Each structure stands twice: as structure tokens, then as C-alpha cells.
Amino acid sequence: MNQVQRHILLIGLVPLFMSLLSVSIINVVLPAIESDLSASSSALQWVLTGYALSFGVVLVAAGRAGDVFGRAQLFMMGVGLFGLASLVAGISPGPLTLNIARVFMGLGSGLLNPQVVGLLQQYFQGPQRGRAFGLMGTTVGLSVAIGPVLGGVFIALFGNDLGWRSAFLVNVPIALVSLILAKRWLPTSAWHPIAQNDGVDGNATTASADDSSAEVGEDPASGADAGAETASIRRRDRDLDPVGVLLLGIGVLLVLLPFVESSVGWFIWLALPLGLLTIWSWTRWERRYLARGRAPMVDLNLFRIRSFSNGSIIIALYFMGVTSVWVLVAMYMQQGQGHTALAAGMIGLPAALLSALSADVSGRFVFRFGRKLVVWGILLCLIGLASTIVVIFLLTLGIGSEWWMLLTLCFIGTAQGMVISPNQTLTLQEVPLKYAGSAGGVLQTGQRIGTSMGLAIMTALAFAVTAASDWNVGMIASFLAITVVVILAGIVGLAEVRRGRTRQL
């Protein structure tokens, strides 16, 4: 790994850690926000959902914009917006200002995340790419591990008022350092678009990570002697497809809305079919746009790449199931077992650390084992889910302790490192470089939708069963539902493994 690649990793992964820390830390500090700002339950809900909605809505458009205009610009815009919004959140005088700031934090995170994926695609190839995505998975695991603990420490050290504010203000110096390093270290090629004049079926071009000043592939901005034809291509490449951006943004917003705002009432679910209809209209528009010789926001021929389409399904299902595990366990420890927020955060710490470790190790072996590594991870996750169900069932009989989940959750944490990063590496493996940003945005949008659906469905199930019985039975019911979703992800994974074997014959 050369110096440029090390710089890319540092520049990309530090802001990624920052943005994910703001997701994992927030659940622990919500009670302090409620107490200090006298926030209503609906205002607290928007602290969570405002971030999730704005984050999910802009992912694909941000990825496309990075492909078209250059990833460095979009990355710095995202980091800057996230840091500024974190500052406003940290000094918010009331719930309204805080919720507006959280929306802009989500926008900033949505701008920078696809650029990180695109930069890793651009500057790493082969086994090094697997290792880079493995380190990205390690970053995710560490942010999940440290977030709840750090939030509890802030509250314990500084009290409710300054404690929850510190959870946002900690992002500000990280964002400033990231902007300085990005301006100094990002290579010249990162500031220019990738050539878009070939279709999805064309070969991917790769950046030369050995030369920080070399342009990428057939970058239309790279040649000093570019002629009229190149200029024409460049103008076409700058087509951001504004109608496509608007249609997909509205569609994703409408699909996400009922899942993150389900408490509003039954009528909010009318947004779901309307959102699906809008997304269908978006696909029609994209095909028509391409047929007219224009550059669509997302070339839908991407989904004809089986590794991309199947990998997107696997990770959406996996996030639909497993993301809710950590929220349910935190609620179970606090509301069901009467533990503090810090204790609730600590029970997932070993699992998150193992997730970080296994992501790094899996990144080294992803190209040796392929999608089989993902399937093994899913199997390990199922073992963790089943053993957690056994622990909770024994508690209903008065046997054992909830702290046995420290061990059972470690299976799930290790599985996350084996599933998420390797699946992302393999899913994007056959995607042309010029679509890396938009493809990464599509992949992450599927994750956001899966996460929102899973959290809404699994927590609603847990609360419904708990109201009729107790927390132990509610946890067992929700974990069984999660198991079914993870099994579906495993079935798709097995189909992809078989497809890989067939291609080798």
C-alpha cells in the first residue's frame, strides 16, 4: 500500500467514522436531550428520523454527482456541511433548532458516504480493494462500539446539558481536520470526473494510485490537447439528470416516511404505495433518458450485473434484520432489565469490537473465498440469534443471566464483519469505475431502506408482544422475526455462490 492509498484511507475513513458515530451515540443521549430541552416524544423521534430521512434521500444523487463533477468536491461539501450542522446541533437552544441541524447532518453524511465508496473503488484494485473495504468495515464496527459508550461517558462526566451537547460538538474538530487533510492530500484525479462515455457493459477503468497527479482512465478533464469531441463528451458527462434526481429522492422519501414516522397514524402508510409508484416512474424515466442518448442518474443496466443485484438484495435483507438487534437489546437492558444507559451500551461493546476485527480479517480473504465468506457470516449470525433466544427463554424460567448475551451477541458481531464489507467488495467488483459513486449510493440506499423497515417492524413487534406479555416474550418474538429475514438473505447468498460455481465450469 503506497502513500497515496494510505492518505485516501485516512481522509475517507475518519469522516465516515464521525458520521456513523453520530448514529450510534444518539440513542444513549436522547433521555438527556428530553430532560434538558423539555422535548416532546415527537421532537425526540425527529432527532432520529430527520437524520435517517435526509441521509437516505440524497445517497444516490450524491454518488452520481461525485461521478460527474469529481468526488473530492462532493466529499468536502459533505464533511463541511456535517461539521457545521454538528456545531449548530451542539449549541441548539431548543428542539426545533436541533431537529433542523440533524436534517442537515443527514444531508452532509449522505453527501460524503458515497464518495468514500467511490474513492476506495477508484484507488484500490484486487486484494488491496478487499483490504480497504475491510478497514472500512473495521471503522463501522469501531463507531458502533464506541458510540454508546462515549455517549454514556459524556453524560457521566458533564451532566445532562453539556453531556448531550458534547456528543455533537465532538464532530466539529474531526470535520475541520478532515477538510484540511482532504485539501492537502487528495490527488489531482479525485477532483475530476470519471469518463462516462462508455456504457455499463464497458470495462472499468482504474486509477493509478502510484501517481497522485495522474488522471483516471479516460478522464475528459485530463488532456491538455482535448479536442472538440472530448469537450462534447465532457458536456454530456456533466448531465446530472435533475428530473431523475427529483423522482428518486421523492420516491425514497415516501418509502422511508411510514417506517420512520409510523406513530403518526394509519394514513402515513399511504405514502408507501405512492413512493413505490414514484420509484417505478423513475425507472421509466431513466430508461427513456438513456434511449435519448443522455447520461441517466443511474444506468439501470447495472442491475443486469448479477453480482451487483444479488449483493444489493443480500445486504438490504441483512440490514433489515440485524440492525434492529442492537436497538432491541439496548431497550431490553434498560426497560426490561432496569440497567443504566451505560450498561446497555457496554453489553454490545465486545460484539462491536469483534465486528471491527473480523471485517479487517475478512477483507484479506474476500477474493480467496468469495461470496462463501458472506454465507458463512450469515450462518454465524443465525447461531448468534438462536443462542440469544435460548438465553432469553431461560430467563423466563428464572435460569441464568441476561449478561450471557455478552457471549451470544459476539457471534452476531463477528458475523457483521464477515458479511457487510466482503459483500460490498464483491457487489461492486464488476461495476465500472465511472459508476462507482452512483452504484455505491444505490447500495447504501438499499441499506437505509432495509434499516428503516427493520427498525419499524421489529420494534413494533417487540412492543406489541411486550404489551400483551413481558419483555422476554417480546424479545423472543422479534428475534424470531429477525431470524427469518436473515435466512432469506442467506438463501440469496447461496444462490450467488452456486452461480459463481456455474460460471467456473
Please tell me the predicted confidence (pLDDT) of residue 336.
85
Task: Give domain status of residue 233, yes or no.
Answer: no
Identify whether the C-beta of residue 55 lies closer than 8 Å to the C-beta of residue 26: no
Q: How confident is the model at residue 387 (pLDDT cuts 50, 70, 90)?
A: very high
Per the structure, the count of domains in the chain is 3
Task: Give domain status of residue 218, yes or no.
Answer: no
For residue 47, is pLDDT > 70? yes
* Domain range for 129: 1-189
Please tell me the predicted confidence (pLDDT) of residue 214.
37
Q: How many CA atoms lie within 13 A of 229 on its CB side?
A: 1
Task: Give domain status of residue 305, yes or no.
Answer: yes
Across the range 30-58, mean pLDDT stands at: 81
- The reply to whether 159 and 12 lie within a common domain is yes
- The reply to whether 316 and 172 lie within a common domain is no
Please tell me which residue, 27 or 293, carries the higher pLDDT value.
293
CA–CA separation, 250 and 270 (whole Å): 14
CA Rg value for the chain: 22
* Phi, psi (degrees; rounded to nearest 5) at 469: -140, -105
For residue 225, is pLDDT > 60? no
Q: Which residue, of 268, 296, 324, is where some domain finishes?
A: 296
Sequence-distant (6+) residues with CB within 8 A of 200 are 299, 301, 302, 304, 305, 432, 435
Q: Which residue, of 296, 315, 342, is where some domain finishes?
A: 296
For residue 212, is pLDDT > 60? no
Grid look-up 458475523 returns: 415
Please tell me the predicted confidence (pLDDT) of residue 503.
64
- The reply to whether 169 and 254 lie within a common domain is no
Instruction: Encode 372-395: b = buried (16+ Cβ within 10 Å), e = exposed.
Output: bbbbbbbbbbbebbebbbebbeeb
Q: Which residue, of 146, 174, 189, is where some domain finishes?
A: 189
pLDDT digits (tens, 9 = 90+) for 238-291: 667 788 888 988 988 888 888 777 666 778 889 989 999 999 999 999 899 888
Sequence-distant (6+) residues with CB within 8 A of 101 are 85, 86, 88, 89, 92, 168
CA–CA separation, 265 and 140 (whole Å): 34
Task: Give DSSP secondary structure letters for 79-121.
Answer: HHHHHHHHHHHHT-SSHHHHHHHHHHHHHHHHHHHHHHHHHHH
- The reply to whether 255 and 345 lie within a common domain is no
Task: Give domain status of residue 164, yes or no.
Answer: yes
Please tell me which residue, 118 or 278, carries the higher pLDDT value.
278
- The reply to whether 168 and 309 lie within a common domain is no
- CA separation, residue 93 to residues 89, 168, 227, 393, 428 (Å): 9, 14, 56, 45, 43
Task: Give DSSP secondary structure letters for 25-47.
Answer: THHHHHHHHHHHHT--HHHHHHH
Amino acid at site 232 = S
Grid look-up 449478561 returns: 403
Identify whether the C-beta of residue 409 lies closer than 8 Å to the C-beta of residue 384: yes
Identify whether the C-beta of residue 414 lies closer than 8 Å to the C-beta of residue 356: no
- The reply to whether 154 and 60 lie within a common domain is yes
Q: How confident is the model at residue 233 (pLDDT cuts 50, 70, 90)?
A: very low
- The reply to whether 50 and 89 lie within a common domain is yes
Task: Give domain status of residue 232, yes or no.
Answer: no
For residue 439, is pLDDT > 70? yes
Q: pLDDT exceeding 70 applies to what percent of the chain?
A: 89
Task: Give domain status of residue 208, yes or no.
Answer: no
- The DSSP code for 214 is P
Of 97-111, 189-203, 366-380, minimum mean pLDDT range? 189-203
Q: What is the CA angle 33-29-51, rounded to 5?
A: 85
Task: Give domain status of residue 181, yes or no.
Answer: yes
- The reply to whether 256 and 165 lie within a common domain is no
For residue 223, is pLDDT > 50? no
pLDDT digits (tens, 9 = 90+) for 11-21: 988 888 888 88
User: Considering Cα of 42, then 47, then 50, then 53, what sign does the dihedral take?
Assistant: negative
Identify whether the C-beta of residue 112 lies closer than 8 Å to the C-beta of residue 82: yes
Please tell me which residue, 129 or 194, carries the higher pLDDT value.
129
Please tell me which residue, 495 or 214, carries the higher pLDDT value.
495
User: Considering Cα of 380, then 385, then 389, then 392, what sign does the dihedral take?
Assistant: positive
For residue 409, is pLDDT > 90? yes
- The reply to whether 356 and 283 lie within a common domain is no
Task: Give domain status of residue 68, yes or no.
Answer: yes
Closest CA to 419 of 439, 447, 448: 447
Identify whether the C-beta of residue 161 lies closer than 8 Å to the C-beta of residue 36: yes
Identify whether the C-beta of residue 327 lies closer than 8 Å to the C-beta of residue 24: no
H helix intervals, 170-207: 171-185
- The reply to whether 391 and 308 lie within a common domain is yes
Most confident of 26-30, 142-146, 276-280, 287-291: 276-280
- The reply to whether 262 and 308 lie within a common domain is no
- The reply to whether 88 and 119 lie within a common domain is yes
Give the global pTM: 0.78
CATH code for position 348 = 1.20.1250.20
